[in-house]
Amino acid sequence: MVPGVVVPQRAGWRRLLTALIGEPVALPHGLAARWPELSRVRWRVDGLPLRVGGWCLGQRTVTGITLGRTVFLAPGTPWAPRLLLHELRHVEHFSAVPAFPLRYVCESLVRGYARNRYEVDADAFATARLAGAPPPPLPLPGA
């Protein structure tokens, strides 16, 4: 085997793996300097979770979705601070709210996606951080 040469069979596996779990990407330095808390997140591009999130919303994919400490971004998604901060708040939800995924789904079923209190909180968090305000506390259902 020659180093640096991609064997077609391995390229196929790599594409499959990327479709399933995405690929790790580094947060742009300027964003990490402005919002250091974004460095706590594992960022990946692509992956099956984006499609599953999209299916739940009746669309092909979503722009971003959070699972634990990992945020999956759709390929080609700009590094928009509002989106990144929104997803960071979901990382905090995962660590602070017991059974967060289940509660999130219940919120969406009862209130709908846009009025899901975790979505409202993530939007408020992003707005506050973009304005330079300190992060609001986590007064959330189930927290």
Contact residues: Zn ion, CB under 5 A: 119, 122
| Nearest distance from C-beta of residue 75 to Zn ion, angstroms | 19
Collapse the DSSP code of 132 into the 3-class scheme (helix H, G, I; strand E, B; otherwise coil) and give the result: coil
The residue among 27 and 116 lying less far from Zn ion, judged by its C-beta, is 116
| Nearest distance from C-beta of residue 143 to Zn ion, angstroms | 16
**CA 128 – CA 1 distance, rounded (Å):** 53
The residue among 92 and 119 lying less far from Zn ion, judged by its C-beta, is 119
The residue among 85 and 122 lying less far from Zn ion, judged by its C-beta, is 122
Tokens of 78: 């700009």
**CA 19 – CA 21 distance, rounded (Å):** 6
**Closest by CA position to 61, among listed 77, 43, 76, 49:** 49
| Nearest distance from C-beta of residue 93 to Zn ion, angstroms | 9
Tokens of 140: 């959330």
| Nearest distance from C-beta of residue 88 to Zn ion, angstroms | 10
Collapse the DSSP code of 67 into the 3-class scheme (helix H, G, I; strand E, B; otherwise coil) and give the result: strand
The residue among 18 and 81 lying less far from Zn ion, judged by its C-beta, is 81
